[in-house]
Structure 1
């Protein structure tokens, strides 16, 4: 059987066809496509919850952490990336629970992904259930780097309250403060300095300070006027 058949059914939200495939042969549940993905990856990616729950009901002894595609993404990574809280909870309620801190090939965790898309509810759930705020990806970025780049005050507060380091430098020597200013998020930059004591005197690998990479003069001026 071609894995593309059940994959198409998962993408097209055709529960009846998915059920037919599974009833004909349970082997399709773990059949990999060219991306190394099983049907559950696609049901979650397209947020077809009914199909995802159906597939999971036939996968009770399967360890989700073993279902890595070629990029190292599991269905749990995808659920957090798309922000589907129902599926995230369903996956975490299984007897074989997913590892909150499992990294992809690029070193990215579920929290990195949820933060990047500003899925606050998912991020809070992950942090409350043991997701680390300190894991670095291959670019040496922690989730706080992504929260700063995304310009989310709420996520900055969530991560910092969870004891996230503030002055971690990534592959180019940038701290979260650099990313906030470079993306034009002046309010986030001010919050990082005034509330969480980010060091704006640190230099990146090119010898630049955070203010030197600010998006424009408006952002730079706002920052200067508001830091304590």
Structure 2
């Protein structure tokens, strides 16, 4: 020791094999007492041994998990094994991972065996896919150990690993020393494959994990390709939903796989699922098989184009449009078209693609009477509103003039099914017209002054009208028969407009008296 140094050392945090001397100070040392509870309470009958693993960084491996986790002292780079008085120990699994994405992990099984006063350290090395947890592997280790026992070498193709155990002559510690070998060992035990061979893993698990080698092994062993999981998915749908394109390609090349088989819950085909998730590469693979129905409908009546138009994946929309077989104006169970979904969700690029075909119906109405333009306007998608207005300016053509009112027409409204047009006039009447032919159907009379506005309920059964001047009322009519149902009174001035809520349960009225009144549509109570 040199002058100024002490005979005391410290180990820097994180540097487990480094000791640095503490520089002597002029201050007088103070005696302190340290009590380690864990040691004071430790049974003298329990023998603990330790594994030191710090050197794995030299072969680009990191310890990512230990089972049981309670044995792992991560900061100290130690794993603890406890030898019971009977001499029995428990196996410990340590998982080491290479930084290369998708590579197999190395799993080292560690165990001490007590034979009298002599303690023998044992280990074996195997590889395992990342999707099997150490807890799961530990519970099924019996199906692997018969072949893995005694194997201290394994290869995951990136690293040929050999492990030796070196005892510390002064402490109950064994150092696990890794070595990168120039050549792979003659035999590498793959825990995943061994579990599959013993029937401990399913095709569903392998498909969802994206392990092509394991999927191929199971297919070669005759695994059922039409068996569905708890979500009703076939292996093909499960693979594409996870984005495992190599597994999808393998399944499509497998005899007996139906590329158009719907799931058992939603009724969606693989193409529908791929389109809904925006999986361009998978959609192309499915289309290339020429065995899929591009216009297949699920339980909600939606097609693959409907789904992808809603999620805005321009590339997939273009793939479907390029087939020339796609029904661009298909309607789902709610009467909505792909353009309706794209406009409502603000998918500007998709709206433009659909309009560019020149085949899309821009004025189609869904079951609630909404057009794509209305959906875009209600949700504030200004650019799409401009696109649709521009398209409509070029396509709208004058059809006819509806005459019959004797004074100014103040407002109009279509019924939700688009078949009836209602008009409100200063002649104190509401007129109903056939929207297709323009024929006058009926005149609704009863207001004592100008009718300012009209509105149909969402189910089309009720028509509300608002009146100004001395009338100050809202009237409700049977839309089919024209019969007057009820007069709603309460405003102190002219009533200018009325509107139903989307669910039809509430009616709102707007008045010159600076108020809006809400009415229960069922009871007409305010």
> What residue is the counterpart of 1:149 in the other structure?
310
> What residue is the counterpart of 2:207 in the other structure?
44
Deviation of residue 225 (structure 1)? 6.0
In the TM superposition, structure 1's runs of 4+ consecutive aligned residues that sit over 4 Å from their partners are none
> More strand per residue: 1 or 2?
2
Query: Larger relative contact order (C-alpha < 8 A, sep ≥ 6)?
Result: 1
Structure 2: gaps (5+ residues): 1-128, 138-188, 395-526
Residue 213, structure 1, aligned to residue 372, structure 2:
no
Residue 86, structure 1, aligned to residue 86, structure 2:
no
Deviation of residue 217 (structure 1)? 4.1
Helix, strand or coil: the match of 2:292? coil
Residue 72, structure 1, aligned to residue 232, structure 2:
yes
Residue 175, structure 1, aligned to residue 349, structure 2:
no
Cα deviation digits, residues 49-92 of structure 1 (max 9, x gap)? 33323322322xx4412x11233211111112222221111112
Choose from 217, 222, 234 the match for 1:54: 217
TM-score in terms of structure 2 length: 0.37
> What residue is the counterpart of 2:278 in the other structure?
118
> What residue is the counterpart of 2:445 in the other structure?
none
Cα deviation digits, residues 127-180 of structure 1 (max 9, x gap)? 111211111001100000011011122211211222110111112211000110
The answer to whether the Cα contact below 8 Å between 1:10 and 1:18 also exists between their aligned partners in 2 is no
| C-alpha spacing 1:196/1:88, structure 2 compared with 1 (3 Å) | farther
- 173-182 or 185-194, larger mean C-alpha shift: 185-194
| C-alpha spacing 1:45/1:226, structure 2 compared with 1 (3 Å) | farther
> More helix per residue: 1 or 2?
1
TM-score in terms of structure 1 length: 0.80
How many angstroms apart in 2 are the aligned matches of 1:200 and 1:56? Answer: 48
How many angstroms apart in 2 are the aligned matches of 1:138 and 1:187? Answer: 27
How many angstroms apart in 1 are the aligned matches of 2:197 and 2:287? Answer: 38
> What residue is the counterpart of 2:294 in the other structure?
133
Residue 185, structure 1, aligned to residue 347, structure 2:
yes
Helix, strand or coil: the match of 1:149? helix
Choose from 2, 13, 19 the match for 2:193: 19
Structure 1: gaps (5+ residues): 1-8, 30-38
Deviation of residue 187 (structure 1)? 2.3
Q: How many residues align?
A: 206
| C-alpha spacing 1:226/1:123, structure 2 compared with 1 (3 Å) | farther
| C-alpha spacing 1:197/1:16, structure 2 compared with 1 (3 Å) | same
Helix, strand or coil: the match of 1:123? helix
